[in-house]
Chain A
Amino acid sequence: MSNYLQVEGLSKRFGQVKALDNAELECSSGEIHALLGANGSGKSTLIKSLAGIVVPDQGDIYLRGEKVSIGSPQESLAAGIATVHQDFSLVPQLTVKENLFLGAEPLRKLGFIDFGEIKKKADRLFNSFQVEIPLGAKIADLSVSQRQLVEIVKAFSRDPDLLLLDEPTASLPSERVKILFDTIRELANREMAVVFVSHRYGEVQDLCEKATILRNGYSVGEVQVAETSKDKVVSMMLGEEATKKNYGDSEKQSSKAKSEAKSSLSFRAENVTAAAGNVEKVSFSISPGEVLGVGGLQGQGQETLLRALYGLEPTIEGTCTLGKETLHIRSPREAIRNGIVYISGDRDEGLLHSRTIRENISIANNANRPLWELIDVDQERQLAKKVIEKLDAVYESLEDPAWQLSGGNRQKLLIGRWLIKDPKLILMNDPTKGVDVQTKEKIYDLLYSLANDGVLILLFSSETKELISLADNLLVMYEGKVVEKLEGENITEEMVLSASLNTGNNKND
């Protein structure tokens, strides 16, 4: 049977963003089909559309040549589709057993759940994976890789005709990956259709015959994996225009930050390892006037690295030095005391919504003073005014609560509050997330002027383009490790993506 699954003209908008734009996908029974694309190209949205989590605005989905509409996860399951989700679909409070059969409990007469049957089936599945996870354990108590396996077993237990795998190997050790691949091949031999999403190109080469490549929500094309090369795939993922345009940008702007720095303090991090395991032995240094970027694919530990340096994530290893001083940072308070500040693009993380603009700025001072000290409101007001005018924030009164401001202005508030502390190192965690173009420009300008003043900047941005144009040098992270350091003015998006995909290759060899 050919073309078990056929997706035609699938489109989905989230507000202003086109997540899917006429996406196409074909997959036959017994085929393992790869779905490739850069960050934000719509892979996950496409998978979620098939899983019934996202309802597309337009387009058709055919199964066995018949048009189907999938409006909910239940309908997706009923159509014979099972999904391994990237961000897991497990309920942390329930046990492994309960999760495996959630929504598909084998019932006895009178509607009671047949737990005996559940146990038998679950045991069989785990045996085939050669894993020992107690069925009675709560998901919350399992490690990430164990959860990943439960997620996979859960999908397999539904005996689907179409299996969707959204980065199933992201948190699996390599020996399990091998077992997983053998199982997938075996299932494909039994006429199951499989759609496989992975950033590891090596795995795609290993497992898939054909691949569909997505860019900005539409399908650029389908390739025979054996007949193409990684470079070709990368350029299809990015498109020619995009890389070229970006090149010019980066040259123009990074030279701006290169001018003489006033301070001579530099920052070094060695072997930083987060307790959570998603940052491993990361070492780097930032010299005066440098904007160092951390990039790579999404969720490779970049944010955890920044949070760990700020004392927000526990570390089990690593030494940091600022100038000649060795730092031991276990909390934000200690970081701030040492001249390190953290700016998050997640405004819920930093904003005191119900408090005034004035208090939102002075908190940077007030949170770090002894509790019995008195507050000089006039001084507070002057400080707030100075900061907010420097950033051109639009506001009515300093006494208005912060929630009344627009998103961009809230972001200015979050950045502005740290200017009153004269920081030595600023950790920026996606500072332009979801802000308008003018605010972005303003933030860029500020970043350059800070760098010019000798402030060290470690920048993570979810937009690789932005990162390339702002950063002087760039660390590419993959699975918690720095896999490559790109230097100089000629960094391209292609180089970043290529560095990430390379590792996938090596790892599987």
Chain B
Amino acid sequence: MKSIVLDYARKNRHTLVAIGICGILLAIGGILRPGFSSYKNVLNILSLASFLGILAAGQTFAVLSGGEGLDLSVGAVASFSAIVAAHLLGPLNLPLVLVLLIIMALGAVLGLINGLGITYAQVPPLVMTLGMIGVINGLSLVYSGGQPTGSATELLQTISTGRIVGIPWILVIWLAFIFIVLFVLKRTTFGRALYAVGSNREAAYISGARVEIIKILAYSFSGLLSAFGGLMLLGFVQGVQYEMGSSYMLPSVIAVVLGGVSFSGGEGEYFNVVLGAIILTILTSLLTTLNIGEAGRMLVNGFILLALLTAFGRAEKMRQ
């Protein structure tokens, strides 16, 4: 029995450490500001974390695909889809389910363009997705004619901010979302192939995998999930603004790295990315509670990313 526990601990070291960090941060918050670690506030923090967690899911697909995989456009896709969704829901008055489908298709197409550029035109992911930010932000302007209109409908607001038996709806949705993402990554042939391609592209190809298609799909998924995140964000913010998702770009990368997803690709679990998103959100609210401004929070985020990348980079080297 003891060895099973130890074995579990060894294999899930990352998860346990992340949960530990969450606990420590909550405890520190509780000591500095009474009420920070109350049930109510923890639910609030988790709700906030869900938006980051959803966008970081897209990022996870991109990073897992390997070859310096990265999707910097997750925030831009979220912003654009929020603008389109607000327009479709408000002025056009389309039903939410239809809007959801349109938005996700839109996100998937944007991701597809990323994927095509990266695999066939061989543009490095960093450059490709950075360029796409400009393109997508331009699209936002063109689409809205300079003045984004519409807002979240009541139903969407309820989903993003309402509660069911005391639990925020968004957490229920996030839980279902986590389940679906884990299922795709762990139980489908696509997920398996994605890990294989990320781990060793050449080996996956020799084994018969259609490397290009899998990479393109990974970026399409990234776009699709980011668009979904944008819709949820619209419900949360209610009104619509330009680039409302762009502040999630850097945190989505940090959450992925915090979750132990390797930048060399093919290694890491979405569940740990979820924990990474939670840690980051706790930290942000802690800093806010302590009256540390936006600039201070950005500094902290930047330092965390650098520290993590240095630490993981060393671990990688030691292994070889």
With contacts A332-B208, A355-B196 taken as known, whether A373 is within 8 angstroms of B266 at the C-beta atoms is no
Complex-state Cα separation, A351 to B202, whole angstroms: 9
Q: Please indicate the chain A residues that have their CB under 8 angstroms from the CB of B266 in the complex.
A: 352, 354-355
CB of B189 closer than 8 Å to a CB of A? yes
**Cβ of B196 and Cβ of A371 under 8 Å apart?**
no
CB of B156 closer than 8 Å to a CB of A? no
CB of B236 closer than 8 Å to a CB of A? no
Complex-state Cα separation, A312 to B213, whole angstroms: 17
Q: Which of B190, B204, B214, B262 contacts A363 (CB 8 A)?
A: B204
Q: Please indicate the chain B residues that have their CB under 8 angstroms from the CB of A207 in the complex.
A: none
Q: Please indicate the chain A residues that have their CB under 8 angstroms from the CB of B262 in the complex.
A: 354
**Cβ of B199 and Cβ of A336 under 8 Å apart?**
no
The 8 A CB mask of A346-379 against B (1 = contact, 0 = none) is: 0011111111000100111011111111110100
Interface positions of B from 256 to 291, Cβ below 8 Å from A: 262, 264, 266-267
Who on chain B is nearest to A374 by CB?
Answer: B187
Complex-state Cα separation, A239 to B210, whole angstroms: 49
**Cβ of B189 and Cβ of A369 under 8 Å apart?**
yes
**Cβ of A359 and Cβ of B207 under 8 Å apart?**
no
The 8 A CB mask of B191-217 against A (1 = contact, 0 = none) is: 111011001101111111110011001
Who on chain B is nearest to A403 by CB?
Answer: B319
Q: How large is the interface on A (under 10, 10 to 19, 20 to 34, 35 or more residues)?
A: 20 to 34
Q: Which of B11, B190, B192, B202 contacts A399 (CB 8 A)?
A: B11
CB of B144 closer than 8 Å to a CB of A? no
Complex-state Cα separation, A349 to B207, whole angstroms: 10
Q: Which of A310, A342, A354, A371 contacts B199 (CB 8 A)?
A: A354
Give the number of residues in B that approach A within 8 Å (Cβ atoms): 30
**Cβ of B208 and Cβ of A355 under 8 Å apart?**
no
In the assembled complex, how far is the CB of residue A380 from the closest CB belonging to chain B, in whole angstroms? 9
The interface centre, meaning the residue of B188, B199, B208, B214 with most chain A CB atoms within 10 A of its CB, is B208
CB of A417 closer than 8 Å to a CB of B? yes
In the assembled complex, how far is the CB of residue A334 from the closest CB belonging to chain B, in whole angstroms? 9
In the assembled complex, how far is the CB of residue B4 from the closest CB belonging to chain A, in whole angstroms? 12
Q: Please indicate the chain B residues that have their CB under 8 angstroms from the CB of A332 in the complex.
A: 205-208
Q: Please indicate the chain B residues that have their CB under 8 angstroms from the CB of A368 in the complex.
A: 207-209
Who on chain B is nearest to A375 by CB?
Answer: B187
CB of A344 closer than 8 Å to a CB of B? yes
**Cβ of A367 and Cβ of B193 under 8 Å apart?**
yes
Q: Which of B187, B191, B203 contacts A350 (CB 8 A)?
A: B203
**Cβ of B206 and Cβ of A342 under 8 Å apart?**
yes
Complex-state Cα separation, A355 to B199, whole angstroms: 7
In the assembled complex, how far is the CB of residue A65 from the closest CB belonging to chain B, in whole angstroms? 46
In the assembled complex, how far is the CB of residue A373 from the closest CB belonging to chain B, in whole angstroms? 5
In the assembled complex, how far is the CB of residue B9 from the closest CB belonging to chain A, in whole angstroms? 14
Complex-state Cα separation, A359 to B213, whole angstroms: 20
The interface centre, meaning the residue of B204, B206, B209, B262 with most chain A CB atoms within 10 A of its CB, is B206
Prevailing SS type, chain B contact patch: helix
Q: Please indicate the chain B residues that have their CB under 8 angstroms from the CB of A333 in the complex.
A: 208-210
In the assembled complex, how far is the CB of residue B275 from the closest CB belonging to chain A, in whole angstroms? 20
**Cβ of B200 and Cβ of A372 under 8 Å apart?**
no
**Cβ of B196 and Cβ of A367 under 8 Å apart?**
yes
Who on chain B is nearest to A399 by CB?
Answer: B11
Q: Please indicate the chain B residues that have their CB under 8 angstroms from the CB of A375 in the complex.
A: 186-189, 191-192
**Cβ of A373 and Cβ of B188 under 8 Å apart?**
yes
Who on chain B is nearest to A400 by CB?
Answer: B11
Q: Please indicate the chain A residues that have their CB under 8 angstroms from the CB of B193 in the complex.
A: 366-367, 371
Q: Please indicate the chain A residues that have their CB under 8 angstroms from the CB of B200 in the complex.
A: 348, 350-353
Complex-state Cα separation, A493 to B176, whole angstroms: 66
The interface centre, meaning the residue of B191, B192, B204, B205 with most chain A CB atoms within 10 A of its CB, is B192
The interface centre, meaning the residue of A336, A353, A363, A399 with most chain B CB atoms within 10 A of its CB, is A363
Q: Please indicate the chain A residues that have their CB under 8 angstroms from the CB of B208 in the complex.
A: 332-333, 336-337, 364, 367-368
Complex-state Cα separation, A225 to B161, whole angstroms: 91
**Cβ of B203 and Cβ of A351 under 8 Å apart?**
yes
Complex-state Cα separation, A370 to B208, whole angstroms: 11
In the assembled complex, how far is the CB of residue B222 from the closest CB belonging to chain A, in whole angstroms? 16
In the assembled complex, how far is the CB of residue A359 from the closest CB belonging to chain B, in whole angstroms? 7
With contacts A354-B266, A371-B217 taken as known, whether A349 is within 8 angstroms of B192 at the C-beta atoms is no
Who on chain B is nearest to A366 by CB?
Answer: B192
User: Which positions in B face A, CB cutoff 8 Å?
Assistant: 11, 186-193, 195-196, 199-200, 202-210, 213-214, 217, 262, 264, 266-267, 319
Q: A350-B207, A352-B196 are in contact. List 15 more A-B contacts (CB 8 A).
A: A337-B208, A350-B202, A352-B195, A352-B204, A354-B266, A355-B266, A363-B192, A367-B196, A368-B207, A371-B190, A371-B213, A373-B188, A374-B188, A374-B189, A375-B186
18 contacts between A and B (CB under 8 A): A337-B208, A348-B200, A349-B206, A350-B207, A351-B200, A351-B203, A352-B204, A359-B195, A362-B192, A363-B203, A363-B207, A367-B204, A371-B190, A371-B214, A372-B189, A373-B189, A374-B189, A375-B189
Closest 4 CB pairs of A and B: A367-B209, A371-B190, A352-B199, A368-B208
